[in-house]
Structure 1
């Protein structure tokens, strides 16, 4: 057997996994429109990847209509969306899989064309994303990001409540747990980082205050699910969507230490070398390793994601740097990825042009290895 550490059992929360290879949350923009509910094609996609006894973290799903920054992304705030996700979960469970839902709000990484009534996107402060970075409007125009509207202090409990309701809705859909998206320059990370958070209330200023929204949202999800079925994703040293903290160690050390006593199912890192990988092929050089730096700080199960191969994943687990490794892009093109890695079968390359939007092509038409073998 290849990669004995990667293919050893692991308990995550109450779930006994057969191996430590996780499917990372992957935005694919193939929800039904205009409902933004998952559809049968989405259920087929996830079921294809649910047959090997591991954990799937389903794609990021906004908890509010204001939380979108891309077309065709599934939500988790209407009954129709819950019903759509229920079909996905049932398909995964029928194959013996475990599936968590990632709860999301993009904050300033949006455009008024996606916002109810054409309003400005919301953020901790009215700090725009760099004009060097561009976004796409709902009708496909490439434009600069707008200056977001700073959330009022009185509005922030509503954001927390939306995540709580999203957690309830995920439970109603039958998920096995939820993951809080605190990475990649989206709303929670915008609050965490000093360059995007210029607030002077209890959610701004020092590290304690900037970490407050992460703690409150995580606690809200725990009150719905219990701590051992809630995970958190962070991207220390990441540079996605114009994120970045001048000195990440104090901020993320504090944030992680504040999560330690909660008893979460896991903490999930995006490695800096793959920061921004959804937009382009990247392999950032001379960057630190989040799992190596923060493994001594985090006391629970640690998942790491970003540019791993079977060899490097097995080595990371063997060294104790992580307990499980999440794979993203290569899981798109290899629905039977655990089987292929374990048996040493060749991997099918992915086609980046089909990552976002569309139908079956580049989504459900990648065959399993056994289907490719000659009769």
Structure 2
């Protein structure tokens, strides 16, 4: 007689109201840092009518200009201490209808940042200086001057970088048109992949899966009524909803893929995905409709795609084994497989990840 045990422990974490954080960066460095040099940095959605209309709410726009030593070069500057000061002017582009229009050139018209390098071992030095402001989706930086009493000529060892960091939520859509792709990896892992943009407004994704034993009534129904091709099954969503109820494992992740271990008796593995968002205004979790559509990664579907159902073979059918999984946030988990002899004495234990 073969005996199988399954143990699942879920460590719950409380979600916080949050938003998507999108950084946009541009910089000049080396020989480009000279008086008169100009560059811009912009939020890619700024001025894009279609993308702008998909934004539900912008919580904050952080702007940073940094002057720093550029250690990513082959020039040596470690043999003597020095200080360096850069002066620049910031231009604000505040009209999304005309992203070339400068709407403010006086508020940050004379900014000065200084850094200092020291050769004394263990002594702290200031290798980066920051200037921060806010609410500009696009701004430009024009260098007025750069000077150093100790360096003449000034070597190409500096970097001036601009950043626009936007925190926002997108309009959440309940229904997804995405098709989950699945494939087997390393023989015993089921890889699931989805496209985040196919879940508009979602910040994270709920993945739920369940196992159907090959000897069960549901497995017989699957084979007899819903098989459309070899290892392809199309089942109505309301039927799948009943099969998942009170009998599934769920993880939440911000990633666009997930690897599932398949240490089960022979049968079927069912999975579904939905987008989720913790609404910034009230901290309430918004959840989209479950998306059951899926296909083999190597088999595109032109019309209606099959359901997320995969037939699997039994794991070590001649052995006694026990599988346990402990889950934490973001779908992180520790999974252990133990094997026992005919008297159920433990013979081998393997940590899968």
TM-score (norm 1): 0.20
Which one has the bigger helix percentage?
Answer: 1
Q: State which structure, 1 or 2, has the greater radius of gyration over its C-alpha atoms.
A: 2
Q: Which has the higher contact order (CA 8 A, sep 6+)?
A: 2
Which one has the bigger strand percentage?
Answer: 2
TM-score (norm 2): 0.21
